[in-house]
Amino acid sequence: MWTRVSGLRPGHCRMMRRGVGNVMAEDVAMAWTRNAVLIPALAFLAVGGVLAGTVQDQERRSVWTGVYSTEQAKRAEGIYAQACAACHGPMLDGGEMAPPLVGSTFNANWNGMTLGDLMERTRTAMPQNNPGSLSRQQYADILALMLATGKFPAGQAELPRDTELLKLITFEASKP
């Protein structure tokens, strides 16, 4: 025989078989409430763990290990010419009002920092007349151009556009 169970949320099973397993209506309602909170919480933790694991599983590296591709640096040339060259110069060597983006002064200023730090500085402050106006991919491409022009070695993979992944790449002024 079936009997009505009270206390369950609308739209969910309201009937249960009487006498099977000595389950009371209150037990079913409490189990539903507990699982309604527990299942999404476990799913959230699982997804968060996977994402955190992805970043943690990446090893720390240096700009000397080939962290950008030649194609990526080449792709940035037009973007740089349009958005950056007026201030930083066509050769990234600085201008009257803007510092160089390559060379000994630049290297000394960023030595020991991460490419994530450089990305965030660039993304939030440049171009000076319209900060944040480029896509993350364009900012990453410009970083690749800066590394290429600064004579850091290219690799096979593109420089990521994700700041957390870029924080795993250390800017080292001189080759270790």
More confident of the two residues 94 and 40: 94
Spatial neighbors of 47 by CB under 8 A, at least 6 apart, are none
| pLDDT above 70: percentage of residues in the chain | 67
Whether this prediction's pTM lies above 0.85 is answered by no
H or E, element range at 62: strand 61-62
Q: Which CATH architecture has domain 61-170?
A: Orthogonal Bundle (1.10)
Six-digit token string for 5? 């169970």
Q: 74-83 pLDDT, tens per residue?
A: 999 999 999 9
Buried b (16+ CB within 10 A) or exposed e, 8-30: beeeeebebeeeeeeeebeebbe
Residue 7: pLDDT over 80: no
Q: What is the mean pLDDT of the chain?
A: 81
Domain(s) of CATH 1.10.760.10: residues in the chain: 61-170
Residue 143: closest CA among 163, 128, 129, 24: 163
- In this predicted model, what pLDDT tens digit does every residue of 122-152 receive, in sequence order? 999 999 999 999 999 999 999 999 999 999 9
